[in-house]
């Protein structure tokens, strides 16, 4: 009797090389932008964040093999749940810090009295 079990899919050499090359490009471009000062700091920051999100997706697909086929889609569901929880924590933390800064900092009138 042989036990039938589903094994995790492994990527091919081609998928790993594509992931590696995309990761290098997605790192080199923001690095170049910062080192040369090619754009305004606000634009550079926005582009770096966009490249970071794309790089997270590249790593997730090419190296972690998260897709709808592996484990009947449960790995993708777990990843989406984790991403939503992380976004809630980050958004909540930023919201709290913004309001603490606005509500708790002493005003010049408070300091003078």
Question: For residue range 36-69, what is the model confidence (pLDDT) as tens digits?
Answer: 998 999 999 999 999 999 999 999 889 888 877 7
Residue 5 inside a domain? The answer is no
How much is the pTM? 0.67
> What is the structure's pLDDT at 74?
87
- Ramachandran quadrant class, 37 (left: phi over 0; alpha: psi -120 to 50; beta: rest): left
> Are 15 and 34 contained in the same domain?
yes
pLDDT, mean over the chain:
85
How distant is the alpha carbon of residue 110 from its chain centre? Answer: 41
> Are 36 and 58 contained in the same domain?
yes
> Are 44 and 82 contained in the same domain?
no
Q: Count the domains in the chain.
A: 2
Residue 4 inside a domain? The answer is no
Residues 6+ positions from 67 with CB-CB distance below 8 Å: 61, 75, 76
Where in the sequence is the domain holding 16, given as residue range(s)? 10-65
Residue 2 inside a domain? The answer is no
> Are 43 and 56 contained in the same domain?
yes
């Amino acid at each position: 009797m042989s036990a039938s079990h589903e094994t995790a899919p492994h990527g091919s050499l081609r998928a790993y090389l594509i992931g590696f090359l995309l990761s290098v490009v997605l790192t080199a471009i923001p690095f170049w932008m910062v080192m040369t000062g090619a754009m305004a700091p606000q634009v550079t920051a926005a582009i770096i964040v966009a490249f970071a999100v794309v790089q997270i997706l590249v790593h997730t697909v090419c190296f972690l093999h998260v897709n709808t086929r592996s484990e009947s889609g449960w790995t993708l569901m777990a990843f989406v749940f984790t991403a939503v929880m992380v976004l809630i924590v980050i958004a909540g933390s930023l919201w709290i810090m913004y309001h603490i800064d606005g509500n708790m900092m002493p005003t010049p009138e408070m300091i003078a009295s």
